[in-house]
Amino acid sequence: MNTEDRFAGERLRESPFHPRQSALNLREAWSSWNGYKFADYYYDAEYEYFCIRNTCGTYDITPMQKYEISGPDAEAMLNRMVTRDVSKLGINRVTYVCWCTDEGRMIDDGTIFRLADDRFMLTCGSPSVAWLRKSVLGFDQMTVRDVTDETAALSLQGPTSCTVLQQMGLEDIATLKPFGIAHFPFHGGSLMVSRTGFTGDLGYELWVTPELALTLWDVLYAAGENYGIHPYGETATNMARLEAGFIMPDMEFNEALKTVHFEHDHTPYELSLGWLVDFKKPHFNGRKALLAEKQQGPHYTLVKLDIEGNKVADGSWLYSDKACRKKIGYVTSAMWSPSAKANIALAMIETPRLNGSVWAEIYYEKELRYYEKVARCEIKDQPFWAPARARQTPPPPF
């Protein structure tokens, strides 16, 4: 870490879990997320990745933006703002959503937690206060409150995660279905657990007040001592989410309110999120533009690629022909997948070219010399990592 980064880190807020995380961050590998000091990795990113896939790990999601939306108009407001039908969401359930400008360009994605008939929590990666203020116009019987700093949250992911929570005393946790929410008494307060995550594996997210954060950490790590629990950072998260085929802002998409150049942002259909758009519900932001795009087809489509060889296609151009190299798209994220034993990527490809050949132009370094190769790509329909345990209720014992 250079001097500038070190002093920048001293100005960042610290998560309620920071005292425990700091002791374990042997590399002092910190960055920032929404004004919080945040771990890139703790000691070795690949070790942390294998904890997610083989045992379990914790990821601090306190910096994620959280908004409490409550009141008689809360459901109607959210239904106008997001593309999915919120009225179908049951109490103590979570759903994945996105929201768009009137031009159908995606502002952000996130999750909505329904905590009561008239109370929701919206979570997202970037601050959304300005857009929420615009979205509440015309809805007088509701309030929107930023509860980011009032809520400490840990993501617990991996095959041993359910067993660890049972060891912690949450005996009924095995009956919680994917995208479900459960509430437990916890040391004079309450603990909310959602069966959600960003790794494509079995996992949960734990939500408490900041005052109970260190207690939660200590109890959780005591329960997980024999089950391989370990913290993981942003680098391991990015590896796991890519295998699961999940999109990441600033990698797969640019947020529409932050772009400068025309159409350097994206639509849900371009990101293969058309299943999030429900035209059967009443009017919502971007409906007209999205309906036209559904009928005409998007310019680009996000796809999953299996690329021959083992040279990672990071930042590669994609071509329809190996020889003439006519550009048809570009890679957004790429890695060698240790679990799938494959060279994988997410990529944007011109929609009319999806049924043709795809080749990736890859540049790589070997012993201080740079080489080029053009590798054949195969478009895949399914995620590269999607174990059955992620969907099973109860999860299989580990």
Boundary-marking domain end, from 244, 278, 311: 244
Same domain, 222 and 359: no
Q: How confident is the model at residue 2 (pLDDT cuts 50, 70, 90)?
A: very low
Boundary-marking domain end, from 146, 175, 197: 146
Instruction: Assign residue 320 the CATH number of its domain.
Output: 2.40.30.110
Report the alpha-carbon distance of residue 122 to residue 111 in Å, rounded: 6
Q: What is the pLDDT of residues 214-268, one digit of tens each?
A: 999 999 999 999 999 999 999 999 999 999 999 999 999 999 999 999 989 999 9
Please tell me the predicted confidence (pLDDT) of residue 7: 45
Please tell me the predicted confidence (pLDDT) of residue 397: 86
Lowest mean pLDDT among 18-22, 191-195, 323-327, 364-368: 323-327
Same domain, 210 and 307: no
Longest C-alpha distance within the chain, in Å?
68
Closest by Cα among 125, 128, 123, 88 to 207: 123
Same domain, 167 and 47: yes
Q: Tell whether 202 is covered by a domain.
A: yes
- Beta strands 119-124 and 106-116 are antiparallel
Mean pLDDT computed over 120-130:
97
Using a 10 angstrom Cβ sphere, with 0-12 exposed, 13-18 middle and 19 or more buried, the burial of residue 257 is middle
Q: How many domains does the chain have?
A: 3
Instruction: Assign residue 88 the CATH number of its domain.
Output: 3.30.70.1400
Q: Mean pLDDT over all residues of the chain?
A: 96
Q: What percent of the chain has pLDDT over 70?
A: 97
Q: Tell whether 289 is covered by a domain.
A: no
| 118 has pLDDT over 80 | yes
Mean pLDDT computed over 140-145:
97
| Residues ≥6 apart with Cβ < 8 Å to 236 | 41, 45, 46, 48, 49, 51, 52, 57
CB atoms near residue 93 (< 10 Å): 17
Please tell me the predicted confidence (pLDDT) of residue 3: 41
Mean pLDDT computed over 357-373:
96
CA of 44: how far to CAs of 48, 172, 199, 233, in Å?
6, 34, 18, 10
Mean pLDDT computed over 32-47:
96
Mean pLDDT computed over 59-82:
98
Please tell me the predicted confidence (pLDDT) of residue 6: 46
| 10 has pLDDT over 90 | no
Same domain, 190 and 118: no
Closest by Cα among 273, 322, 334 to 300: 273
| 364 has pLDDT over 70 | yes
Same domain, 365 and 319: yes
CB atoms near residue 190 (< 10 Å): 13
Same domain, 56 and 177: yes
Same domain, 342 and 305: yes
Q: Which residue type does 92 have?
A: N
Boundary-marking domain end, from 105, 127, 146: 146
Same domain, 232 and 193: yes
Same domain, 322 and 350: yes
Q: What is the token pair recorded at 37? A: 């000091």
- Beta strands 56-60 and 229-231 are parallel
Please tell me the predicted confidence (pLDDT) of residue 398: 79
The residue range of the domain holding 127 is 65-146
| 182 has pLDDT over 70 | yes
Same domain, 235 and 184: yes
Q: What is the pLDDT of residues 325-351, one digit of tens each?
A: 899 999 999 999 999 999 999 999 999
Same domain, 162 and 197: yes
Please tell me the predicted confidence (pLDDT) of residue 259: 95
Please tell me the predicted confidence (pLDDT) of residue 169: 97
Please tell me the predicted confidence (pLDDT) of residue 5: 46
Q: Tell whether 367 is covered by a domain.
A: yes
Report the alpha-carbon distance of residue 352 to residue 300 in Å, rounded: 8
Same domain, 58 and 155: yes
